[in-house]
Structure formats: structure tokens, C-alpha cells
A and B are shown apart, each in its own frame.
Chain A
Amino acid sequence: MDMIPSRPPPAGQRGVQAWLRRNLFSGWVNTAVSLVVGYLVVVSTINLTRWVVTGASWEPVWTNLKLLAIYRYPMELAWRPVIAVGVFLMLTGLSAALGRRAGKGKIIGGLYAWLTGLVVVLTVIAWLAWPSVREAWTAATFMAAGGYLAGWFVPKLVRAQAWLWSAGLPVVLVLVYGLGGEGPWATVRTLEWGGFMLTIVIAVFGITVSFPLGIALALGRRSSLPAIKYFSIGFIELIRGAPLITWLFIASLMVPLLLDTSPDSIPALARALVAVTLFSAVYMAENVRGGLQSVPNGQREAARALGLSGWQTTRLIVLPQALRAVIPVLVGQAIGLFKDTSLVFIVGLHDFFEIGRRIIPSQPESLLYPGGVLLELSLFMAAVYWFFSYRMSIASRQLEKELGVGER
């Protein structure tokens, strides 16, 4: 007996036409909505493209890239933050290669590939247009490649990995801040930091420090010890009760007035970091608490029955399940924090957004463009924020997939 070979569905039910009819024109309401929305999309795309290509003046963005990137960080020392990026990429590359050897590390591999691509692009631009940081970006590219190759060919490094990462942090700090004195290692005071570099510093510090702090607060809130419990509740509710902008104001005006009056004893950056981190930590805590509540009590009881101590139960049984449940929320929070850094202008810091929004449009050169340059700068900044935020959500999705969230 011969099987009748399967045939494609009739012409009216496949292809572009069928898809269109099914999704966009399946009734007169949908048809009308599709036409109106389609018209708006097409017109605005055409107008936007025309403006971007012919109407906009991109020159102020291009000439002020240094300001947008590092604000007043001295140009002759600009190689230091670039090398710091190189150090970070070297470590990332190392971990990515080691992970790949072990058949894991898709997420860090993806981040590494993406960031390295960015660095290569910047290196090419540096060779074309930025003579003063040409060597530095080239070195950063080689460092990124070197880290990966080292990880790939020297698998033994897997044991040194944690040690190398912990050594990397002070190296990056020294590179950005300096050692003091004159010459190539002169100190660059945090007042002169700014631009995208500052945005990254605040975001990375805020995210990494608020994460453990948030977990501690969440556990504290569920603790049976009244002192810890009520402190945690009070702290969370207090900080959560006012907007970030308020805490930044308090950090900027009250703290120096109440604690100390000597200049520079509490740099504006430190004030901002404290405010941003604590604010993020309490939201982190509430998110983690949600995760903790989702772990069934049976898990805890089973762990105790197996003889695990209270701390072991939390660390090995409860927290891993709790955190896995709230990954999307945590990443959402990290993205939010990254963008909230644009509020630190309140404490007198000059982050990426502040420079594009206030400083560059005030330059006499910018005032010569009819209508100003705010629109161009806003579009550029939106693109940069989007670029990094979107990459974070990709990493988050990969992480969810790897941990099997939503599949069990």
C-alpha cells in the first residue's frame, strides 16, 4: 500500500497573503486598525529617516563624543579607562573560554562576543579619527582576545579564575582613579569623572552591591529574630516610601551638612552611590522576598529532615529556588537602575544624560544650529541606552532558558 505523499495546504491558506489576511485583515475593525497604524508607521518612518539623514546636524554629537564618554577626565589619561575596559574584557574572555571548554557559559560567551565586537568597532574608529586613544583601544582589543585564548589553551586557569576576577577589580579601580602624583598615574578626582563612564560606574556598583544587600534584607525581613526583622521592615519601608530623587537630594544636601563640613570628605559620587544602592537594595529585597515566598515549606522541612542546618537550608535549598523564580524581575530592576542613573545630576554629577541634555546644548557652537541640537542628542542617547538595556534583557532570557524557568 502506498502512502499518499503529503501535499502543501491550498494556496489561499499559506504564504504571505494568507498570513496577512489572518493577522491583519480578518474583519473590518482589524482592517481599519491595520490601515491606520500602517499609515502612521510608514509616514513616521519616512519622516524620521529623512530627518536623520538630511535634516539633523550630527556634528555636535560627533565632536562632543569625548565629553559624552568621559566628561572632563583628562584627555592625556583617557587611555586608562580604555585599558580598564580591556582588563574587564580579558577576564570576561577568560571565563567565556573556560566555560565553553566545560560545555557551559553561553551567557558570558554571548556578552563577551558582543562587547568585544563593540571594542573592535571603537578601535577601528579610533584608528580613523581618534589619534590619542588609538593605541589604547588596540591594546584593549588584544587584551580581549588574549583573555579568551588564555582560557581556551590553558584550562588549568579555571582554578585561578576567582582569584583573577578579585584581582581585576582593584586593577580597574587604580586605572580609573590613579595612584597619585604627576604623570601617567596621576589621580583623577571623581569630580572630573562623568559621561557614560560614570553611568557605568554607578550602574555596575549599584547592581552588584544592592544584590547581596537586597538578599540580606529579604532574609532579614523573614527572620524570627525581632531586632533583625523589625530593622529590615523599617529600613525597607522607609526607603521605599520616598522617590529616588528625594533620597538623592537628602544624600546631597543633608549628609555633608550633618556629618561633616570639610571639603571633599564625602565626594558627590559617594553620596550618589549610597543613595542609588540603598534605593535599589530595598526593591531588590522585596523582589527576593516574593521569590522566597514561592518556595513551598515542604522544601524547607525536607532539608531539615535531611539534617541540614538552618543556614545550609537557606543557602542550598531555599535561595537557589527563590532567586530562580524572580530572575526576570531582578533583571528588570537592573535595567531600571541603569537608566535611573540619569537622576544623579541632582547631586552635582555629570552623567551621560546630563551632558547630552544640558551641557552640550549650552555650548556656543551648539547654539548656532537653528532650533538647537537637543533632538539629535536625545536620539543618540536613547540609542545608546537602548543598546545596553536590550543586551541585558537578552542575557536575562538566556539565563532563564538555561535555568529552565517556566518549564517546570
Chain B
Amino acid sequence: MRKILLALLASFLVGGFAQAQGGLLAEIQERGNLACGVNQSLPGFGVIDSEGNFSGFDVDFCRAIAAAVIGDADAVTYRALTASERFTAVQSGEVDVLIRNTTWTSSRDSEVGLNFAPTTFYDGQGFTVKRASGISQVQDFEGTTICVQSGTTTELNLADVMAALDISYTPLLFETADQVYAAYEADQCESVTTDMSGLVSRSTLLQDPEASVILPITISKEPLGPAVLHGDDQWFDVVKWVTFATMFAEEYGITSDNVRDQLETAEAPVVRRFLGLDGQVMQQLGLDSEAMVRVIEQVGNYGEIFARNLGPDTQFGLERGLNAQYTDGGLLYSPPFR
């Protein structure tokens, strides 16, 4: 009975809200800025600089959506959300889109009432290893010691995966992440395991960052991506296809530097449609023909976004791994713009 009542209440709130909103796309264009829920303290993904400006991998996707919808990547009102308030913020309409390292799961898709746009970052449990250990793949962990935080899903994941692969290793358990890293620094273990995004933020804090490397492999699934509220399909489409656009542009070699030239020179029909030169693809999405041109020009394609925030030229030095194009053995695959 209580469940039914709760479900009724939820559907009333959500449904009533979607109705009152009408088209979120039109509302955002009229308002002239995008309310984007982000993290403000996850290095590489969402941080605030000393001037108070947001930056990071997730933040760049807010900017991409604003560039497509409003025409200006800076027309974003950021809302820094804690893990516990992020879903309420979407449900109450406080933010138009949530891009806060949120893992796409079935219950969030159904019960929480979110629609997930394509995954922008395939996170998952990864490993930081000592360069000297020579470990480069999961099989190399045979006979090694791994430092891990006790009582976490990380610990269970590790045990499951290693058991399935029949690899024997010695787990060294600690209460806190600080202790885990202290033990790693003291050479009590060859590697540390936790979520990739967590490894990234710790990597530069090591005493000798050069002596360690983050392996480009993951042993669990934590797909992170933008999410919007159920009930507004047009808005969901826009967020989804702006995300795809960054991946599409990388696949076809369209970058922030050459996108203007491509407008003059592009010949491939698939690229011409993407740039809004042929067809009505963008209009069908509710955008103007140059929407994706602005995304690439103002923010860049997926490869540029990744390189700027997490890639080898940054202090995090992350390899693309699963986050490479499908043509390079990754999982990024944009459907055609047609």
C-alpha cells in the first residue's frame, strides 16, 4: 500500500512537473542559459578555479549543450551538487541536466526517473601500479600484493574478478584511502585499486608520480554520462545528440581548429549533414543548422575535451582505454546524423 502511495505521489510530482514545463528546450532558449548540475571537487571532472570558474571534463559537456542550444558555451548556470542532492535537483527541475560523474544503472533509469544520454566516460575499477613492477594486464597480478580499501564494493569486485580468472594475489586491506596510499608508498604492495576517476585525483599526490602508472584497464562497469528527467523526449534528444556530436566530430576529424574551414570544403554527405549544410537534421532536433558547428568550435570534439582535462598532456596522464573510438578499440560509437 505504501509503495503504491509513494509511486502515485512520485508520478504526480514528476508528471505534473513535466506538464507544467512544456518544452524544456524552448524554455532554456528563452531563459538564455542552461542550468547544469556538476561536481565541484572531483579533479579532472569538475572543479572551481581561484576565480570561481568551473572547469573539467563533465563541465565541458555542459558547455557543449549550451553552445548548441543557446549559441554560447558560457551561458551556463552551474549548480554544484552533492552526491545526495543530485537526483532531487533533477526531479525538482532545479537543473536542466545532470553531468556529475553519475553512473548509469537500471534503477536510476527507472525508479529515480532519469534518462541517460550516451556515456561520456567509461569509468570502472582500475589500478595504479609501480612502473618497476612491469604489470601491464590483469594476468600480471599473479602472485602480487594489491592494496585495497576494506568493506567497499571495490574489495568484492577485485575478489570476484580475480577468482573468475583464477589469479592468486594477496589483498592488503586498509580502512581509509589515505592508509591505502601510505602503504603503497611504503612498498607494501605493487598496486592500488579503486575507481579510475579516484585513481586520477590521487595520482599527482604521490611522492614520485613518475614512478607509477594508471593501467588503461577496468574490471567493473561505471559508465558516467549526462542525465535528464523523464518526460521530455525532445530535451532528452538534444542532450543525447550533442553528446554524440562530440564523438562524431572526432571520428570524422572535425576539430575546433578546422570546423570553420570544413564548412567551406566538406564534401562527404555525412559530414555536410552534421555541419548543417545539407538536410534538415538539426531542425528536426529543434536546433538551428549551425548548432553542432558551435559545439565543436567553442568546446571541441570528444578527443579535444578528453585531452584538455584528463589526457597525457595533463598531470593526470590518462590513456583513452575504453574511452577511445570504436575504430581504435574503444566503446565510443556515434550513430549517424541522418
Residues of A participating in the B interface, judged by any CB pair closer than 8 Å: 63-64, 66-67, 71-75, 191, 249, 252-253, 256-257, 261-264, 345-348, 350, 358-359, 361-365, 367-368, 370-372
Contacts and interface: CB of A to CB of B under 8 A. Distances in A.
Interface in B25-78: 35, 40-44, 47-52, 77
B105 interface: no
B315 A358 contact: no
Contacts of B20: 262
A367 B92 contact: no
A103 B42 CA distance: 56
B35 A367 contact: no
A348 B80 contact: yes
B88 A256 contact: yes
B134 interface: no
A196 B328 CA distance: 49
Contacts of B50: 63-64, 66-67, 363, 365
B204 interface: yes
B13 interface: yes
Contact of A348 (B13, B49, B82, B207): B82
Nearest to B45: A362
B93 A364 contact: no
B82 A346 contact: yes
B111 interface: no
B205 A362 contact: no
Contacts of B48: 67, 72, 359, 363
A345 B43 contact: no
B40 A261 contact: no
Contacts of A64: 50
B80 to A, nearest CB: 7
A67 B80 CA distance: 14
Nearest to A195: B52
B88 A364 contact: no
Given A253-B88, A257-B92, A262-B20, 6 more contacts: A66-B51, A253-B85, A256-B92, A350-B40, A364-B314, A370-B207
7 contacts: A64-B50, A67-B50, A257-B92, A261-B92, A348-B85, A359-B41, A371-B207
B284 interface: no
Nearest to B42: A362
A71 B52 CA distance: 6
Contacts of A63: 50
A367 to B, nearest CB: 4
Interface of B: 13, 16-17, 20, 35, 40-44, 47-52, 77, 79-82, 84-85, 88, 91-94, 201, 204-205, 207, 314-315
Contacts of A362: 40-43, 47, 201
A371 B49 CA distance: 19
Contact of B47 (A73, A249, A363): A363
Contacts of B204: 367-368
Contacts of B80: 348, 350
A364 B315 contact: yes
Secondary structure type dominating chain B contacts: loop
Contacts of B314: 364
A81 to B, nearest CB: 14
B82 A345 contact: yes
B88 A367 contact: no
B305 to A, nearest CB: 15
A367 B16 contact: no
Nearest to A192: B52
A371 B207 CA distance: 7
Contacts of B47: 359, 362-364
Given A75-B52, A348-B80, A348-B82, A364 B44 contact: yes
A72 B93 contact: no
Contacts of B85: 252-253, 347-348
Contacts of B207: 370-371
A348 B86 CA distance: 10
Contacts of A359: 40-41, 47-48
B93 A261 contact: yes
Best-buried of B16, B49, B77, B314 by chain A (most CB within 10 Å): B49
A370 B205 contact: yes
A348 B20 CA distance: 26
A66 B53 CA distance: 12
B133 to A, nearest CB: 22
Contacts of B42: 362
Given A262-B93, A263-B93, A370-B207, A363 B49 contact: yes
A261 B89 CA distance: 10
Given A261-B17, A359-B48, A362-B47, A367 B41 contact: no
B93, B205, B315, most chain A CB atoms within 10 A: B205
B132 to A, nearest CB: 20
Contacts of A372: 205
**6 cross-chain pairs, A with B, having the tightest CB-CB distances, nearest first:** A362-B41, A72-B52, A358-B41, A367-B204, A263-B94, A64-B50
